[in-house]
Structure 1
């Protein structure tokens, strides 16, 4: 009996349509975005065209205005969209909004869905997620921001947040804070929806990073902010998911975020390899076409191998998600692997371009500076490796083999 790797016809059709969309509309539009005004006009134009074609919110159920794609079809779509920085934005499936939209869909009250989710789904507003703190780092249970109930009507939040992505472009913030320090460790935190701007939620600065910063980073939500929270009043009706459920909801949200980063990394690596192939097939050195040199072919082969492994990883995780299976182990393995894969492929593409790759005349240099973050965001490599290794030992102790923790129960 054969294992079926065939993609359903409908999923193939959507994937091909989105691939064409990115190549015909998004990549050419990149050159037209030069300032805030052009960004807004170009994005509005792209979104109008996309919606007219039925391309909108791929991961959101149809009853909420989305395409209703399952994990497999959505993965195929995202791996095409992210070849352009306008791709996900054009279909309103950009991070960090996407994962928070899923959280609101899952846990929001009717009131919260009408007031906060609806404008996000329509593309009228953007949302950021404030969880990370300097003092806590990768340990979310170490956060110190507090939320104290003031009677029955409000919560008062105080603390600081660090590296809140897209805060500069957000109209809504979802903030995690400690509501009960005496509860079990993972039940101490709750999540709150905050309308922005708000005098209690102050963006102190956009944190300078390795990524090449431009005025457009701030406008497009590509920046990461340091937030001061002082006497922030949040109505009790804006408590999301009930008291004590903040950590669990955060992990639910991060699970999709890690997959999204993987999809983005595959898309970026694919476009980088395509750029490298275009360059080496059009260049001649020392009287011989560059692409005919064995060293170049070996470099391309290594990139192709890593992309192949990466795709299989991600599609297998999508398969498990379709089945409702536990995918935490595979998600952590893939998160680390894909972060290193995209670095390797983009680095190779730069090398094959020579000085041109080091310049900013191609997108490669900017990508190279940006993708270093992939080994840190949504959990650094070391945390994921620790968890994966712990599960390997646990599997052996329970069953006498490590197989179940390293793909042995693939299907």
Structure 2
């Protein structure tokens, strides 16, 4: 070891002399201000959100508990993390926001307490980026104040992951209004929303990605009827739906929308939808890291206190191997997200990495939670811990915001295109990291 150390030091000095110490640095140091806000949010989740979860489990009133949390959060300057300061948010850049979201996801009240919950967050981002002054004043302000909630109606049964296959139409009536007709499927959070963004076809003759536009509609509205909240494999409860956990099937019939509520201009709905989904995919990944971390901590606590056949579970090699695999996947996941945050900070194209991470992190959280259940034994399978509930909820991660297969198809095509363009696949597989 001593020889290796001396060799390493000599090599290091040689490299520094040849190329210069500064040119060799790859800095993984997180800025002090980002560390500080991460620590504040971590403390917030553990000191405030976890106890609030227990109060809800004991029968406390959801609206009262959430209102108390939000009042405390705002008083501490913890509110709308990535929203600019001039709009009442914390103004966090991509790296700091990623760190914060990776803490908030440990509690199902974390994001809600700071008004950065899905699906509102990504939809608010779209309104902030593309909204007119009128739209921001009328719709964005109450959303940022936490007074209202918003959902996004894009997906349809007939189209699925192919957004360009949607059939909902928006036709001008000649009086500066549009009339919308169609159906939507899996409009998450619609049952608790006060506002909805709807994507509809305005010009079937235009190029495929320019046929659609987005409209803002206040709810309730007789032209936007929630047929039902679709039952899924995830356990349901009144609290689940109050949190915005429902996924609605919606009938849209002769829905009149003023032209003032057209968002971003005609034909730009698809592009805005992809802009919104890009952040949603990252947020899911950030929260997946947080949930996996909490599950692994629960597993570690259990195996270091549980004995079988006169020996702690933590002393068994098979258990250590299981923990090692989870640790490896969490490490990879964090690096993926931090690299994507780096690209976002520098205005670089992150679409390939986003798709790769979206698929990987969905499988990672499933694996870690499943491992935690296994290590808990029958206790993990029961509802006495949150693990079983998480397990059924996270299965959706491989479907929402683009199914695994769609992202893999896109990633694979990009790998082939990179080779055809460059003679190597490196650009599509992280070879151009810096």
Question: Does structure 1 residue 27 correspond to structure 2 residue 50?
Answer: yes
Shift of 1:37: 7.0
Q: Is the 8 A contact 1:35 1:215 kept in 2?
A: no
Q: Is the 8 A contact 1:36 1:219 kept in 2?
A: no
Which runs of no fewer than 5 residues in structure 2 stay unpaired?
1-23
Question: Does structure 1 residue 150 correspond to structure 2 residue 173?
Answer: yes
Per the alignment, residue 16 of structure 2 pairs with: none
Alpha-carbon distance in structure 1 between the residues aligned to 2:359 and 2:96? 23
Per the alignment, residue 388 of structure 2 pairs with: 365
Per the alignment, residue 287 of structure 1 pairs with: 310
Shift of 1:23: 0.5
Alpha-carbon distance in structure 1 between the residues aligned to 2:311 and 2:241? 45
Shift of 1:33: 1.6
Per the alignment, residue 380 of structure 1 pairs with: 403
Secondary structure of the equivalent of 2:37?
Answer: helix
Which runs of no fewer than 5 residues in structure 1 stay unpaired?
none
Alpha-carbon distance in structure 2 between the residues aligned to 1:181 and 1:125? 33
Per the alignment, residue 256 of structure 1 pairs with: 279
Alpha-carbon distance in structure 2 between the residues aligned to 1:325 and 1:36? 47
Question: Does structure 1 residue 323 correspond to structure 2 residue 340?
Answer: no
- Paired residue total: 411
Q: Is the 8 A contact 1:336 1:384 kept in 2?
A: yes
Q: Is the 8 A contact 1:130 1:175 kept in 2?
A: yes
Per the alignment, residue 104 of structure 2 pairs with: 81
Question: Does structure 1 residue 217 correspond to structure 2 residue 240?
Answer: yes
Alpha-carbon distance in structure 2 between the residues aligned to 1:152 and 1:269? 53
Shift of 1:152: 3.4
After TM superposition, list the pairs within 5 Å mapping 1:94-173 onto structure 2.
94-173=117-196
* TM-score of the superposed pair, with normalisation by structure 1: 0.99
Alpha-carbon distance in structure 2 between the residues aligned to 1:81 and 1:372? 20
Secondary structure of the equivalent of 1:54?
Answer: coil
* TM-score of the superposed pair, with normalisation by structure 2: 0.94
Per the alignment, residue 188 of structure 1 pairs with: 211
Shift of 1:247: 0.2
Alpha-carbon distance in structure 2 between the residues aligned to 1:70 and 1:135? 38
Secondary structure of the equivalent of 2:61?
Answer: helix
Secondary structure of the equivalent of 2:56?
Answer: coil
Alpha-carbon distance in structure 1 between the residues aligned to 2:60 and 2:219? 22
* Gap change, CA 1:12 and 1:266, over 3 Å in 2: same
Per the alignment, residue 324 of structure 2 pairs with: 301
Secondary structure of the equivalent of 1:32?
Answer: helix
Per the alignment, residue 34 of structure 2 pairs with: 11
Shift of 1:3: 0.3
Backbone CA RMSD of aligned residues: 0.9
- 1:52-77, Cα deviation, whole Å (9 max, x unpaired): 11000001000000000000000000
Alpha-carbon distance in structure 1 between the residues aligned to 2:51 and 2:400? 29
Shift of 1:36: 9.3
Compare CA radii of gyration and give the structure with the larger one: 2
Structure 1 stretches of 4+ with a deviation exceeding 2 A read 34-37
Shift of 1:153: 2.1
Alpha-carbon distance in structure 2 between the residues aligned to 1:376 and 1:114? 34
Secondary structure of the equivalent of 2:171?
Answer: strand
Alpha-carbon distance in structure 2 between the residues aligned to 1:405 and 1:168? 40
Alpha-carbon distance in structure 1 between the residues aligned to 2:61 and 2:297? 28
Alpha-carbon distance in structure 2 between the residues aligned to 1:143 and 1:196? 22
